[in-house]
Structure 1
Amino acid sequence: MQWKDVAQNWTAFTPRIMTRWPTLEENEILAIDGDQERFLNYLTASKGDDPVGAQMELADWLMGEEPADAVMDPTRDNARINASAQNIPAGEVPSNDDRRFGDDNTPEPPLAKAS
């Protein structure tokens, strides 16, 4: 994972940050709003650690995979939907070909009578 992804989706990553560093305050983390330098300063101050140690700890955390709860966060839905449009060839309308849905041989339900 890269810091820019964390910064862009800061609120989605806040629970994961709280899990990794449980002594940090959620309100303080949210106020940092993805600023890496401010986060490192806060991490250093809260742990009483040296800045190099905090940087190494953050780098270690960033080496991991992007957590599923952050990937699936509802605040990221629109970006994911917009990105999926890149996989649709030009001129294709996804709803035109419904053979993949398996209902081609199913008769249409009868229309209800208007009373």
Structure 2
Amino acid sequence: MKWSHVKANWTAFYEAIQEKWPEADDAELDEIDGDQRAFIAYIAEISEMDPEEAREEIRDWLVGEIPSDVVMDPGHDNHSIALSSKFVPEGEEEMDDDSRFGDDDEYPDDDDE
């Protein structure tokens, strides 16, 4: 994944960050707000390593897949829906209700069971 994915979905990455660096604190992550340099400095500080080592550790972490909780984040979903607009016929909006297609009851929500 790229840093742009992390920055765009910063709060959704908190769990993945804290899984990799358990000493990371939500309040500190809030302050960093996706700033890569600040994040490198913070990881270096809490892990007691020099910034270059922290940068390399973060680079290795970025090689992994985007965590599923980030993919499922509503902000990510809305972005995906907005991107789908090129497939929506003229005169319709990508966020329109699709209940007129009649398939809403085909796959009931877990709450309906």
TM-score (norm 1): 0.74
Identical pairs, percent: 39
Q: Which has the larger radius of gyration?
A: 1
Summarize deviations over 1:47-66 as a string: whole Å, max 9, x none. Answer: 11011110110000101111
Deviates more, 1:44-53 or 1:74-83: 74-83
Cα RMSD, aligned residues only: 2.4
C-alpha contact (below 8 Å) 1:12/1:75 kept by paired residues: no
Deviation digits for residues 77-104 of structure 1, max 9, x if unmatched?
321211122234x448696x959x5xxx
Secondary structure class of the residue paired with 1:24: coil
SS of equivalent residue, structure 1 residue 46? helix
Q: Is the 8 A contact 1:44 1:51 kept in 2?
A: yes
Q: How many residues align?
A: 99
Question: For the residues of structure 1 that align with 2:67 and 2:86, how far apart are their CA atoms?
Answer: 24
Is the CA contact (8 Å cut-off) linking 2:71 and 2:77 kept in structure 1? Answer: no
Name the structure 2 match of 1:112.
none
Gaps of 5+ in 2: 104-113
The answer on whether the counterparts of 1:18 and 1:24 sit within 8 Å (CA) in structure 2 is yes
Preserved CA contact (<8 Å) 2:2 2:62: yes
Structure 1: runs of 5+ lacking an equivalent? 102-115
Matches within 5 A, 1:1-115: 1-88=1-88, 90-91=89-90, 98=101
